[in-house]
Amino acid sequence: MALVLALAPGTALAEPLRLVALGDSLTQGYGLPQEQGLVPQLQGWLRAVGHDVIVINAGVSGDTTAGGLSRLDWTLADRPDAMIVALGGNDLLRGIDPAASRANLDAILSRLETKEVPAMLVGLSAAGNFGPEFQQAFEAMYPDLAATYDAVLYPDLLAPITARYRAGEDLGDLMQEDGLHPSAAGVEEIVEAWGPAVSSWLRTIEASEE
């Protein structure tokens, strides 16, 4: 005998929230087995605390803010319910003028606002390699743009690693041999620190859709 589940008129099965992570190699999971990358670990963490969410990996290794902007429409074609914007690391490594990076992120957030896609902007801390003015301009663009577009801000994706670096502690267990990309253990620490902020943001989105 077949078991038939009848839905009341107007009732639909809830679908998982589709969260796109637009980023570079840090998002893409460079140098790690797929299941140990940032997106799978974040998805697992969010599901473990009760979110019905699919985190879609839109990270491209080597991408700058300009690259992220250039593929934004293609990414939006996936019809996300929300988007994490985690770009700027390669701009920083290449010493790209922060004014150009700011303009690209501004255009991304403006487009998301137009499309009514909630955004979380994820920043990075900058070392002083290119001078204090560069450092200040780079770090300031994230909170400035988040405030302009009412986006949720997470100031530093690499916060646990940054904290240990500034404390003069060894980073060997958290970083891959290239010294640029986190190891699986490093990603785990990043997600443990970042997860609560993402979870809180998603709960506001989920509540608004009820």
Residue with tokens 């620190």: 193
Residue with tokens 């009341």: 8
State yes or no: is 181 an active-site residue: yes
Residue with tokens 């074609």: 77
State yes or no: is 178 an active-site residue: yes
CB atoms within 10 A of CB 73: 10
Q: 159-166 and 184-209 are packed helices; what angle lies between their axes, rounded to 10 degrees?
A: 140
Cβ-contact 174, 161 below 8 angstroms: yes
Cβ-contact 149, 110 below 8 angstroms: yes
CA distance 47 to 119: 19
Q: Which of 24, 25, 63, 125 is catalytic?
A: 25
* Half-sphere exposure of residue 40: CA atoms within 13 angstroms, side-chain side: 10
Cβ-contact 135, 141 below 8 angstroms: no
CA distance 196 to 187: 15
Q: Which of 63, 91, 125, 181 is catalytic?
A: 181
CA distance 45 to 53: 10
Residues recognised as catalytic: 25, 178, 181
